[in-house]
Amino acid sequence: MTTTTALIAEDEPLLAAHLQSELARLWPDLQVVARVGDGQAAAAQALALQPDLLFLDIRMPGMSGLEAAQAIAEDWPDDAKRPFPLIVFVTAYDQYALQAFEHAAVDYVLKPVQPDRLAQTCTRLQAALARRAQPAPDAPPALDAVMQQLRGLIAGTAATAEGAPRLRVIQAGAGNAIHMVPVDEVLYFEAADKYVRVITASREHLIRTSLRELQPQLDPQRFWQIHRGTIVRCDAIDTVLRDETGRFTLALRGHADKLVVSRLYAHLFKAM
Q: For position 80, what pLDDT does the model report?
A: 81
Radius of gyration of the chain (CA): 20
pLDDT band for 108, please (50, 70, 90 cuts). Answer: confident
How many helices and strands (H and E) does the chain possess?
A: 7, 15
Q: For position 102, what pLDDT does the model report?
A: 64
Distance CA 125, CA 122 (A): 5
pLDDT higher than threshold 90 for residue 189: yes
- pTM value? 0.79
pLDDT band for 25, please (50, 70, 90 cuts). Answer: very high
Q: For position 203, what pLDDT does the model report?
A: 93
Q: For position 205, what pLDDT does the model report?
A: 95
pLDDT higher than threshold 60 for residue 167: yes
pLDDT digits (tens, 9 = 90+) for 133-145: 876 666 555 667 6
pLDDT higher than threshold 60 for residue 103: no
Q: For position 227, what pLDDT does the model report?
A: 94
Q: For position 94, what pLDDT does the model report?
A: 59
What percent of the chain clears pLDDT 70, i.e. is strictly above it? 86
Q: For position 157, what pLDDT does the model report?
A: 62
pLDDT digits (tens, 9 = 90+) for 29-53: 999 999 999 999 999 999 999 999 9
Break the chain into its structural domains and give their ranges. Answer: 5-161, 169-268
3-state secondary structure of 259: strand
* Residue bearing the bigger pLDDT, 151 or 51: 51
- Element of type H or E holding 95: helix 95-102
* Residue bearing the bigger pLDDT, 100 or 193: 193
Buried/exposed 198-230: b ≥16 CB within 10 Å, e otherwise: bbbeeeebebeeebeebbbbbeeeebbbbbbbb
Average the pLDDT over each of 13-17, 107-111, 147-151, 257-261 and give the range with the smallest value: 147-151
Distance CA 203, CA 169 (A): 15
Indicate the class that CATH gives domain 169-268: mainly beta
Which CATH architecture group holds 5-161? Answer: 3-Layer(aba) Sandwich (3.40)
